[in-house]
Structure 1
Amino acid sequence: MRNLKSIALALVIALGTLSATAQTTKKVDAAKSKVLWLAKKVGGQHNGDVALKDGNLVFKGKKLAGGNFTVDMTTINTTDLQGEYKGKLDGHLKSEDFFSVEKFQTATLVFKQIGVKSANTYTVTADLTIKGITAPVTFDIVVNKGVANAKLLVDRTKYDVKYGSKNFGALADKAIDDEFELKVQLKY
């Protein structure tokens, strides 16, 4: 009888441990999520958005354990310009000088390492793929009540986006910063 109680107790503990560490994948609502970009240049800046195609956040219990996302690069959109200038910049960003969207229609981000920074805040190292080139990027993400917010700084030259870079021949007064910023709000 004592053996049976020990076995039953061990089974209850094992099942409790399994359920506490079970992974849950939560689909991100692409239509309600936002990916905003900001690019700076000598004498100014431009900003806009790009559409999230799909994505998932993975949780182990209540802790963030993973994530993967796909962005539709064909939707690159400038929001600080209108008319002819907006059309020209949108077209240039989609061209081979920048993101070559005809050939590379999506960009992806896959979480590789996640560390807890504080309550609901994690430091993520992820593989970012742009133009078929993958490089690591590290950023903080805050996850709380169905919303995740992150700000990423991306060195575009790591993805063969070198147009206007002073490190690749652009004149100093015409240079575009190598880093651009992404502000991401994911709703899941």
Structure 2
Amino acid sequence: MKIVQILLITLCLQVGLQKAYTQNFELNTIKSTLFWTGKAAFSSYSLKGTIAAKKGTLSMTDIAMSSLNIIINMKSIDHENNNLKSHLKNEDFFEVKTYPEATFSINNQALVKSDTIILIGKLTIKGITNTENIPATLKQNESGIVLKFKYAIDRTKYGVNHNSPSIFKRMKENAIADEFILEGTLVFSK
């Protein structure tokens, strides 16, 4: 009976200490950058633009990320071609008037191993939520945390089907690849 009590006390102390060492961080939207890259399905033609994070929070223990929540401002989708920018914002793509935000939040604690981390979480775009496993690098310093990632997202899983070769099987000339790349540097401050 004493062994069980000792084990319970030790477990409670470990949980209490872990919570005591949790640090909370806020996303610095000015220093953070997000880029998207889309490309043609059957050629090397590609386009790159930006999108902005609206806000975010992150909580860390010594060895793991215990929470991460990011809100993306979908109205901030940008490209030098104004026609393309308008098209990305309309019903063919992201319907930003109806869905002004996209979100990402991790489901479970994510362990940090040699500055790398796998962010397993829920991504919501256009009101549709899917689980994504996003590999990232994590650097921590006195002022905060920097997360860097480059990840391919299948837009058709989120109802973004315009000119998709997997939805419209006979499309060739104007087909747009189903996957787009989201690449970012997210800076979190204490």
Contact 1:70/1:109, CA 8 A, preserved across alignment: yes
Query: Higher helix share goes to which structure?
Result: 1
1:61 corresponds to which residue? 62
Shift of the alpha carbon at 1:63?
Answer: 2.6
Alignment of 1:29-68 (within 5 A): 29-41=28-40, 42-43=42-43, 44-68=45-69
1:70 corresponds to which residue? 71
Q: Tell me, yes or no, if structure 1 residue 97 matches structure 2 residue 96.
A: no
- Could you tell me how far apart the structure 2 residues matched to 1:181 and 1:36 are? 8
- The 3 A distance-change label for structure 1 pair 168 and 59 is same
Contact 2:99/2:127, CA 8 A, preserved across alignment: yes
- Greater Rg by CA: 1
Matched letter for residue 184 of structure 2 = V
- Could you tell me how far apart the structure 2 residues matched to 1:174 and 1:167 are? 13
Question: What secondary structure is seen at the aligned counterpart in 1 of 2:31?
Answer: coil
Calculate the TM-score normalised by the size of structure 1: 0.83
Contact 2:64/2:112, CA 8 A, preserved across alignment: no
CA RMSD of aligned residues (A): 2.1
- The 3 A distance-change label for structure 1 pair 17 and 93 is closer
Contact 1:35/1:183, CA 8 A, preserved across alignment: yes
- Could you tell me how far apart the structure 1 residues matched to 2:39 and 2:88 are? 14
Deviations 1:42-97 (A, max 9, x none): 3301111101000011102353222010000001001xxx4xxx010000000000
Higher mean C-alpha displacement, 16-25 vs 94-103: 16-25
Q: Percent identity?
A: 28
- Could you tell me how far apart the structure 2 residues matched to 1:77 and 1:108 are? 18
- Could you tell me how far apart the structure 1 residues matched to 2:106 and 2:148 are? 15
Q: Count residues with an aligned counterpart.
A: 171
Moved over 6 A (4+): none
2:83 corresponds to which residue? 88
- Could you tell me how far apart the structure 2 residues matched to 1:17 and 1:101 are? 42
